[in-house]
């Protein structure tokens, strides 16, 4: 666990560090609550925050709020508030501000360890739930919802002038593969294509439905995305699966689009979809942009 501890007193910080360090926790301490918040913002590995209520320039409650806002559904963060003045009002305010737990300051060793074991259980479970909610079980890729969310995040990071390529891929005549070889072989084909798509460096890969996939390529132009799509297209023609009557081969069709100014993820997706439809209608096993 990577823990950030915030308190105005260096002595208190030292005491807490001396309890946590020997237990293998990664600990960063701050006397300034804004610096602590900046650190949590930029270090996604932080999974727990222990803050005193009596900190500045952000109060302990403000720090709880701000950290809670950062820790959206995709980022588990367990917040423990501590105070030397424990009373019902302090406790209620801290929990209502997004804190998960409340301890006395300075905390006793056994209590602190037990609270952190609880924090570890909670954040592990949350991470596992996030993983399950985002993963397509058959292919192991991101599912449709998670994929589109990642594309939205990538578009936000890229900004209006940024580069972002989008490739949609669809297995050709997949119904035939299923009909001739059975659903199990069809499933193997989906898994095989999924693996091939993951070979593109830095690609964000998802299964959008049945035998349709998406690959987002942050930082790539339309030409670069087309080139990447052509490499996977060729790669897919070399895949072989053990079928009912000998080895099964397949081809895929691709639609490509790239980010342009004033665009939305929906319009980017739409253009790639139209290009994919075009690739299907002019003969399949090709890339259209
Ligand atoms: P096209 O070249 O135009 O894309 O034709 P197609 O046959 O690939 O496309 P179509 O949309 O007609 O058929 C897709 C088939 O994919 C139908 C559906 O039964 C099958 N399918 C969807 N999900 C799965 C799955 O998880 N496993 C298997 N084995 N088949 C699936
Ligand atoms: Mg279809
Ligand atoms: Mg298809
Ligand atoms: Mg399809």
Instruction: Output the residue whose Cα is nearest ligand 1's atom 27.
Output: 187
- Paired sense of beta strands 46-52 and 241-243, if any: unpaired
Asked if residue 151 lies in contact with residue 264, where contact means CB atoms within 8 angstroms, the answer is no
Residue among 210, 236, 244, 278 to mutate when testing ligand 1 (max atoms within 8 A of CB): 210
| The pair of three-digit structure tokens given for residue 205, joined into one six-digit string | 């890969």
Instruction: Output the residue whose Cα is nearest ligand 1's atom 22.
Output: 210
What is the distance in A from the centroid of ligand 2 to the CA of 281? 11
Q: Which ligand has the minimum distance to the alpha carbon of residue 185?
A: 1
| Dihedral over Cα of 266, 267, 273, 274: its sign | positive
Element (H, E) at 5: strand 2-6
CA distance 225 to 223: 5
Report the complex ipTM: 0.97
- What's the order of all strands across the beta sheet hosting 101-104? 26-30, 2-6, 46-52, 78-83, 101-104
Ligand 1 atom having least distance to the Cα of 176: 7
CA 83 to chain centre: 34
CA distance 20 to 184: 51
Ligand 1 atom having least distance to the Cα of 172: 2
Instruction: Output the residue whose Cα is nearest ligand 1's atom 17.
Output: 175
What is the distance in A from the centroid of ligand 3 to the CA of 64? 49
Residue in 59, 11, 13, 10 with CA at minimum distance from that of residue 37: 59
CA distance 61 to 59: 5
pLDDT in tens, the chain (289 residues): 999 999 999 999 999 999 999 999 999 999 999 999 999 999 999 999 999 999 999 999 999 999 999 876 678 999 999 999 889 999 999 999 999 999 999 999 999 999 999 999 999 999 999 999 999 999 999 999 999 999 999 998 888 788 999 999 999 999 999 999 999 999 999 999 999 999 999 999 999 999 999 999 999 999 999 999 999 999 999 999 998 889 999 999 999 999 998 889 999 999 999 999 999 999 999 999 9
138 lines ligand 1 (CB under 6 A): yes
């Amino acid at each position: 666990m990577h823990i950030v501890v915030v308190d105005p007193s260096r002595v208190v910080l030292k005491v807490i560090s001396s309890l946590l360090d020997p237990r293998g926790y990664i600990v960063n301490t701050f006397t300034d609550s804004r610096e602590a918040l900046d650190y949590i913002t930029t270090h996604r590995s932080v999974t727990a925050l222990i803050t005193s209520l009596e900190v500045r320039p952000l109060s302990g409650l403000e720090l709880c709020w701000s950290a809670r806002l950062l820790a959206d559904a995709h980022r588990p963060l367990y917040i423990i508030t501590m105070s030397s003045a424990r009373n019902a009002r302090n406790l209620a305010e801290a929990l209502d501000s997004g804190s998960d737990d409340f301890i006395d300051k300075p905390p006793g060793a056994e209590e602190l360890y037990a609270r952190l074991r609880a924090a570890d259980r909670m954040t592990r479970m949350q991470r596992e739930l996030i993983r399950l909610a985002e993963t397509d079980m058959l292919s192991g890729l991101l599912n449709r919802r998670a994929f589109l969310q990642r594309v939205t995040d990538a578009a936000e990071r890229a900004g209006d002038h940024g580069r972002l390529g989008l490739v949609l891929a669809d297995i050709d005549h997949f119904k035939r593969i299923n009909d001739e070889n059975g659903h199990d072989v069809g499933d193997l084909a989906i898994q095989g294509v999924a693996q091939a798509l993951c070979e593109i460096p830095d690609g964000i890969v998802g299964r959008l439905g049945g035998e349709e996939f998406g690959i987002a390529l942050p930082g790539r132009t339309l030409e670069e995305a087309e080139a990447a799509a052509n490499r996977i297209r060729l790669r897919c023609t070399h895949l072989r699966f053990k079928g009912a009557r000998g080895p099964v081969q397949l081809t895929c069709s691709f639609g490509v689009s790239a980010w342009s100014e004033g665009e939305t993820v929906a319009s980017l997706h739409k253009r790639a979809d139209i290009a994919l439809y075009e690739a299907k209608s002019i003969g399949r096993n090709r890339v259209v942009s």
